[in-house]
Structure 1
């Protein structure tokens, strides 16, 4: 249940601040604090002011992100309460307001991520460094009508800078921190001719891992954590009404990712083979833990500005893959089991979108605004050792270069399990698995907002979607990893499932005069996440899990209580979810990964966002922020036949009733309190800021076992920067997790116990930003 002491404290704090700041109007004073900015967003597929849209959105400009020390997607959870970021086996898992999906292996996320309008469905390489940004929008709650497929939990829009046709711009950032990390970010924009401009963005980062120096993988020191990325954009305006854009981006990541893990709570099975607990920041894995991801994105966009309508189109091609991924499955120095793919996985994603958006007076006057669009996505995700780099999982008794190697004692246990199912036990060579599936989705969507009675707006929207998912192949076979398979254990091909859906949205806004440009709003909508196939099985048929469907209600208020620069937003939300999709990992249940449906789930809660200039008539540029999300209900209302691990032995347990349990990865409460002060000093300004993040903790597994708990934790970050105005130069000294809080980016639960992937401890760094 929710910690009501925390809820009462947050509400009391807000009341106190309102009382202190009562009748002080911040718009009477000009702020140079980077936390106070008016941000334009495209959360409804058209450019609007953040406070003018009837949905819960947090938006962060490049300046604000830099002021708050946000450098990656994972960092966003520290400033966007309700968002929870974790990692498993190199895959990023994002939840918003308790809604998300841990079906990370070739499954769709519940929080859709977009980069310049391009949908990024694959979770590997998602936690990349942010650079060359215009803004980031975090849309909370289902976004089924406009942002479509799978966005049951919300959406994250990342918008990068476009080239300027009028002036050149250069930005450079250099940094170094206490992990011996060096970082360089650069942005260059140049108008080639009056109608053509180009920009180049680049980022490079390399440093030591935050684990202790004694940590090893395969007897070797941990590799450095590094990332490189580059983006090129072209903007061409052949006529005044037309803008054409071309963008290409490539990013590379290397290191360990969450493949590095220490077994902190070995199961009985693990103890039998000699595994002892590894806790803290010293870990010893018996395989050379390695992670290498390569993502490429190309897109072509167009905008025609007509008299009554704007017409937009976008086509994109995305190729992403972990080119190498090795994970010590048991998280221990004993050679028990490890998972790896030397050739990598392949994800080929193609999208296309066409929109018609009302502009100016439109066809029906300025009181009617509407969007119409068509969206298509084709996604091939594959794991194989052949051309497409699909997955190869080898199960052997010691074959060189096999990817899942087991000792003789454990092989004997597998023999007893496989013999009744297959007619033979563990092969003397290897078992290799191959998986590939294809998604093809088409959607039509429309949304209209109508102003009436001066102060009211009615919104109605609908999305029709036809989605076909095809299991192209799921097979396991006998044979060494270096030779062709000789005998198939199981092989399934060309299994197809089609889902057609029509999902509506209805909303109402009221802008009462007493709210001073604020609004009260209510909305109801439905959304859907389609069928999923599980392809990674040794001896079980591939599972197909049903579509996940959601009903959502939201009531909210948006205000600027003390004028410009102040914000107080509040939202109540209630979700009913049917056939919640869940993933479970166990070598003894089919072989590695199992997917299943929880029959139903319910989530209810509220959140607030507060920001104001404190005592503006007395103190210049002192900004307070306080945000929080509380979940009063977050349970599986029906979850029969759930998979888990015995709490005493750690062995596989099936047929469990998890009804009434808390939803996984859903904290009761998350919140941030921050303060920022800008002071004019000789030559420029001095900026001091700090923020304090709280997470009440959560379960990683639906069974809510004690071994799947992430305890409550806090994170304190602080910054001080000097801006030298004549040279447009900023020097920043920062500290991250200054308390040295020990918490996890992820916990991986398998037959051998619980393996932890720790988040970084305290880091001190210095960076220099220069713009001209």
Structure 2
């Protein structure tokens, strides 16, 4: 048994960097039918000795055996930490940040410096129940009934293909149960607002070969950021989401898994301010047009798995549809009568953007048994996407702002000022192979190779009257078609050596890729005439190559884990964002070359029964090496935080012999200096955030918890965009929630 005094001394030395890897929360059972399929949690596991099983590399391994930097959150940790949306688990992950801005569908994940921008491909592959999300606007949504979350850092193109350039986020929802069970959760916040959730699961047939799981969640709050012009909050939320699953296992070797989900969000966006310093939070939200942000997401997937004895065949078919319409104030985001344009022309600007994406994907793979000295996975993937986007600037004449969809506005109360519209028809496909070769006792080689091809075809749907006409540049025409294919071979190779249970060392090489694409028609001419460099009608694909070394250690009979990793990444044609005020468009350009290098340290400890300490520190040094404007060379890359500190401690203690336990938890996140544009025109000072939770629970039957997010009410701007646009981060939120399991 561990000596508490010795470990307490060790923990005191490391607690100042405490953090994010919940590496000893809850065990899972033996691997599922396929090595790539997640295994259900084992509620009887001893949390003091059990290992987390992760699946981010498409097979089941313990967290401490995986030769990669992974932060994993089990169902227990998700509940105890109050994780209800992606920002919550990212706040507990070193070298990973999330920038939330503009509207619900616009959030940027930054992993080890690799970031994203508006309307761009994501920087990370997000995989939910084996299905990869194809649109970044799907990411920022309610999380409920989730069994495990895994954040895998570093390019994973060999495993997940396009968009895994920064890493992968693998989310597994809870599986149907063998007995009828249910769960209810409710709560209130200071919006004021409330949240209710319900889940029911169990067998449909007597033999239990057909099971179901269904859940429903509703969140309603008046918001937290005041709009001083309207007298109401700028960020109310109404979010209704649901999920359902049917699992049919007619035999021990064959299973059919059908899942569906829906998310209907009603909120607001575009409540920007304009300042010269990103640290300036003194200007209140004061838009006279609160606008709307309505987003609907529908997903359905079908997975078939067959264990043939010599290996497992798996097929995953998925369809998803996303629609989002956002309206609101335009530049300069002041009340109409106070705006700069009103003083000159007698009207202000408002804006509207409409996005609709439909996608169908198909993956087939074969996985050999994992217990052999040489095991492998081979497969193929196909994706077809239809995407439509329109961007409108409207005259604000004091009659409000109205949504514009596929055709310019003819509403006299909201006259059209500018309008751009494009459709994309994209076809992507890939073939891949992964191998694991046990070379000798403790020595293993892991290799992956994937070839991705992404053909993009864009059609200009802007009426000719609204197309930019700049002397010296070709005039765009309605119906113009632009097409380009982006393709890349993505290898990954890892060598690991395990010295018993205490130590694992590894070294890896990996390459990641994400597609290029098209800015809206005519922006290159507008950018050039405005003196903006690096913005073209077509932006190139990005390729990132990473070398990484790392070590994972376990001490004191699994009571203390210390993991370290160091990396260097060369990025070619990374994205940067630029807003062209001339025609109100959001555009992407390329940074020809940037370098990222850094390291991470993660610690998880249990000094004594009931007490947990988590620690994490991440550092990223970014530098732009090549750019059309030589004055930018040497600057930090956009959206990169120089370092992150993630700290957490939790303590449980029994209240007599009643079976009731008290649980207290504190989490701390520190974001280092952050740059937002290639010019490094402003830098945000470090931001520290504190979250707390205090509750009672009884025998996994019920819980009552009081919580506070951003306890100290740290006011800061979440984003700064070129032109001085800043978007306020969420202030303090607090409330109480309760759950009942039956």
Same fold (TM over 0.5): yes
TM-score under structure 2 length normalisation: 0.84
Which residue does the alignment assign to 1:306?
308
Q: 1:263 to 1:563 in 2, by over 3 A?
A: same
RMSD: 3.0
Which residue does the alignment assign to 2:690?
716
Distance in 2, matches of 1:637 and 1:563, equals 46
Give the superposition deviation at 1:154: 1.0
Instruction: Provide, for residues 721-753 of structure 1, a one-character-per-residue CA deviation record: whole Å limited to 9, x for no partner.
Output: 11122x811111112111111122323433xxx
Which residue does the alignment assign to 1:506?
493
Which residue does the alignment assign to 2:579?
585
Whether 2:274 is the aligned partner of 1:263: answer: yes
Judge which range, 346-355 or 577-586, deviates more. Answer: 577-586
Aligned ranges 1:247-396 → 2 under 5 Å: 247-257=259-269, 259-265=270-276, 279-280=281-282, 282-334=284-336, 336=341, 338-341=349-352, 344-359=354-369, 361=371, 366-383=372-389, 391-394=390-393
Give the superposition deviation at 1:35: 9.2
Whether 2:650 is the aligned partner of 1:676: answer: yes
Which residue does the alignment assign to 1:640?
628
Question: Are the counterparts in 1 of residues 351 and 394 from structure 2 also a CA contact under 8 Å?
Answer: no
Which residue does the alignment assign to 1:233?
245
Distance in 2, matches of 1:561 and 1:490, equals 67
Distance in 1, matches of 2:232 and 2:705, equals 35
Divergent runs of 4+, >6 A:
12-15, 30-36, 399-405
Whether 2:722 is the aligned partner of 1:749: answer: yes
Q: Which has the higher contact order (CA 8 A, sep 6+)?
A: 2
Whether 2:739 is the aligned partner of 1:763: answer: no
Structure 1 gap ranges (5+): 1-11, 20-25, 268-276, 384-390, 406-427, 481-487, 642-655
Distance in 1, matches of 2:710 and 2:739, equals 22
Whether 2:597 is the aligned partner of 1:604: answer: yes
Which residue does the alignment assign to 2:114?
99
Which residue does the alignment assign to 2:20?
none
Q: 1:663 aligns with which of 630, 637, 643?
A: 637
Question: Are the counterparts in 1 of residues 576 and 677 from structure 2 also a CA contact under 8 Å?
Answer: no
Aligned ranges 1:70-89 → 2 under 5 Å: 70-89=83-102
Q: 2:220 aligns with which of 199, 206, 213?
A: 206
Give the superposition deviation at 1:34: 7.1
Distance in 1, matches of 2:45 and 2:735, equals 24
SS in 1 for 2:334: coil
Question: Are the counterparts in 2 of residues 261 and 331 from structure 1 also a CA contact under 8 Å?
Answer: yes
Q: 1:538 to 1:609 in 2, by over 3 A?
A: closer
Q: 2:666 aligns with which of 677, 690, 711?
A: 690
Which residue does the alignment assign to 1:625?
614
Distance in 1, matches of 2:662 and 2:49, equals 16
Q: 1:730 aligns with which of 703, 714, 717?
A: 703
SS in 1 for 2:64: helix
Distance in 2, matches of 1:490 and 1:397, equals 28
Which residue does the alignment assign to 1:540?
525
Question: Are the counterparts in 1 of residues 272 and 333 from structure 2 also a CA contact under 8 Å?
Answer: yes
Which residue does the alignment assign to 1:139?
152
Whether 2:511 is the aligned partner of 1:526: answer: yes
Question: Are the counterparts in 2 of residues 88 and 746 from structure 1 also a CA contact under 8 Å?
Answer: yes
Q: 1:126 to 1:499 in 2, by over 3 A?
A: closer
Which residue does the alignment assign to 1:413?
none
Q: 1:180 aligns with which of 188, 192, 195?
A: 192
Give the superposition deviation at 1:114: 1.8
Distance in 1, matches of 2:652 and 2:200, equals 28
Aligned ranges 1:215-226 → 2 under 5 Å: 215-216=229-230, 222=234, 224-226=236-238
Q: 1:266 to 1:569 in 2, by over 3 A?
A: closer
Which residue does the alignment assign to 1:416?
none
Q: 1:77 to 1:192 in 2, by over 3 A?
A: same
Structure 2 gap ranges (5+): 1-8, 17-23, 26-42, 342-347, 405-414, 468-474, 527-535
Distance in 2, matches of 1:736 and 1:372, equals 44
TM-score under structure 1 length normalisation: 0.81
Distance in 1, matches of 2:398 and 2:154, equals 49
Which residue does the alignment assign to 2:483?
496
Give the superposition deviation at 1:635: 0.7
Which residue does the alignment assign to 1:414?
none
Distance in 2, matches of 1:172 and 1:397, equals 45
Question: Are the counterparts in 2 of residues 433 and 537 from structure 1 also a CA contact under 8 Å?
Answer: no
Q: 1:329 to 1:196 in 2, by over 3 A?
A: farther
Q: 1:402 to 1:170 in 2, by over 3 A?
A: closer
Question: Are the counterparts in 2 of residues 262 and 278 from structure 1 also a CA contact under 8 Å?
Answer: no
Q: 1:312 to 1:679 in 2, by over 3 A?
A: same
Question: Are the counterparts in 2 of residues 59 and 137 from structure 1 also a CA contact under 8 Å?
Answer: yes
Distance in 2, matches of 1:686 and 1:228, equals 31
Give the superposition deviation at 1:45: 1.1
Question: Are the counterparts in 2 of residues 51 and 559 from structure 1 also a CA contact under 8 Å?
Answer: yes
Distance in 2, matches of 1:123 and 1:528, equals 16
SS in 1 for 2:158: coil
Distance in 1, matches of 2:15 and 2:237, equals 45
Give the superposition deviation at 1:565: 4.3
Distance in 1, matches of 2:45 and 2:252, equals 34
SS in 2 for 1:511: strand
Q: 1:357 to 1:215 in 2, by over 3 A?
A: farther
Which residue does the alignment assign to 1:446?
433
Instruction: Provide, for residues 280-301 of structure 1, a one-character-per-residue CA deviation record: whole Å limited to 9, x for no partner.
Output: 4731113233211111101111
Instruction: Provide, for residues 402-455 of structure 1, a one-character-per-residue CA deviation record: whole Å limited to 9, x for no partner.
Output: 7799xxxxxxxxxxxxxxxxxxxxxx9743211111221110111111112212
Q: 1:613 to 1:459 in 2, by over 3 A?
A: same
Distance in 2, matches of 1:178 and 1:33, equals 37
Distance in 1, matches of 2:158 and 2:64, equals 20
Question: Are the counterparts in 1 of residues 176 and 212 from structure 2 also a CA contact under 8 Å?
Answer: yes
Which residue does the alignment assign to 1:432?
419
Give the superposition deviation at 1:327: 4.5
Distance in 1, matches of 2:642 and 2:102, equals 25
SS in 1 for 2:114: coil
SS in 2 for 1:64: helix
Give the superposition deviation at 1:156: 1.1
Q: 1:338 to 1:202 in 2, by over 3 A?
A: farther
SS in 2 for 1:741: coil
Q: 1:433 to 1:719 in 2, by over 3 A?
A: same
Give the superposition deviation at 1:36: 7.9
Which residue does the alignment assign to 2:209?
195
